[in-house]
Structure 1
Amino acid sequence: MGIEEAKRIIMDHFAGAARRFGFNELYGYIYGVLFLAREPMSLGEIAEATGYSLSHVSTALKFMERIGLVVRIKKPGDKRAYYKATKLLKDWRQAAYYNKIMEDIQQTRANLERALRELEGEESEEAELIRESIRFAIHRNDLAERILRFLIEHEDEEVLERLMDCLEAPEKR
């Protein structure tokens, strides 16, 4: 029972991660099955392991392949396609989490700039206070965008190394 329970925990974890990132939980179950597989699996094997229909699994695999979560493999003498997980969890973040945050950052900037334009010509004390608040928010939004771009453009190891350097350097605090 220990092995099956461990597999269930892993699959449930990836299904939950898929939901948190705005994906269908099927993507997580498929990823979990392939993550645990020793060898690439066929569409039928994946459908059987997840309990989903061939058509649902096929559609999900096409999307997952497009964003780099799975790789399709052809075996010599076999017409079927086989799949394996890329094991790059960074791709989950970039494909979903980081992109959603970037969209929010860009939308926030557009709305802040639009609000600032609305204040053009307004000379009251209230208008100036609002302008200051908006400029502060734009500055913070720009910082968030710079940080997110750094996370997207650099490998996890480099990001961790730079963060550790910052945390360990007391004079930079």
Structure 2
Amino acid sequence: MGVEEAKKIMMEHFANAARRFGLNELYGYIYGVLFFEDEPLSLGEIAERTGYSLSHVSTALKLLESVGLVKRVKKPGDKKAYYTAIKNIREWRREAYYKRLEEDIEQTKINLTRALKEIEGDDSEEAKRIRERIEFALERNAIAEKIVNIFLKNDEDEVLKKILECVEKKIREE
């Protein structure tokens, strides 16, 4: 089997993960290529290793960079952009996933509050129904905000262990 076979297995895993998220397999292959490299690679090197065109790889790298899975780096004295994968998935979840959730929660709170102000003083039946729905959404949004903040401010593994302990205890009690 060996190293190359292990890399091939993981490359397919990353490609399949991309497919599961509705993306082209190229996204997974790019991440896989970068995942196994110790040094950043140029756009051309990534295109060569994946077998895809420069334009396809460039487009995919922009998305991977925007979601925080890939980081663009510069080498001193070189004008080319180089790319490296975020290999610590815990770091990725904290910096990309949870921070984006936090931003979405904040934006949701702002918009729900704005919508609620728009129907202030309106006592129609429709306004009452909408107000109830918005207030319910605000309550759920506040819960989501607390949960995300717990993950951002604490060690993720510890939080998950505590959650599992609580759930398992609750199940045993029932």
TM-score, scaled to structure 1: 0.63
Is the 8 Å Cα contact of residues 151 and 159 (structure 2) preserved in structure 1? Answer: yes
Classify the secondary structure of the residue corresponding to 1:169: helix
Whether 2:111 is the aligned partner of 1:111: answer yes
Q: Percent identity?
A: 45
Q: Indicate the RMSD between aligned Cα atoms, in angstroms.
A: 4.5
Write out aligned runs for 1:9-158 (5 A). Answer: 9-13=12-16, 15-16=18-19, 28-37=28-37, 39-40=38-39, 42-43=41-42, 45-52=45-52, 60=61, 64=65, 67=68, 69-70=70-71, 85-94=85-94, 96-124=96-124, 126-158=126-158
Classify the secondary structure of the residue corresponding to 1:49: helix
Deviation at 1:118, TM superposition (A): 2.0
Deviation at 1:49, TM superposition (A): 1.4
**In the aligned structure 1, how far is the partner of 2:74 from the partner of 2:126?**
63
Matched positions, count: 167
Deviation at 1:139, TM superposition (A): 1.0
1:77 matched residue in structure 2: none
CA 1:14–1:94 in 2, change beyond 3 Å: closer, same or farther?
farther
**In the aligned structure 1, how far is the partner of 2:100 from the partner of 2:32?**
23
Classify the secondary structure of the residue corresponding to 1:145: helix
Is the 8 Å Cα contact of residues 14 and 31 (structure 1) preserved in structure 2? Answer: no
CA 1:85–1:128 in 2, change beyond 3 Å: closer, same or farther?
closer
CA 1:126–1:14 in 2, change beyond 3 Å: closer, same or farther?
closer
Can you list the C-alpha shifts for 1:28-81, whole angstroms capped at 9, x where unaligned?
4232113234x43643543321224568767939x74xx47458697xxxxx99
Is the 8 Å Cα contact of residues 30 and 46 (structure 1) preserved in structure 2? Answer: yes
Deviation at 1:140, TM superposition (A): 1.0
Whether 2:5 is the aligned partner of 1:6: answer no
Moved more, 152-161 or 163-172: 163-172
Deviation at 1:6, TM superposition (A): 1.7
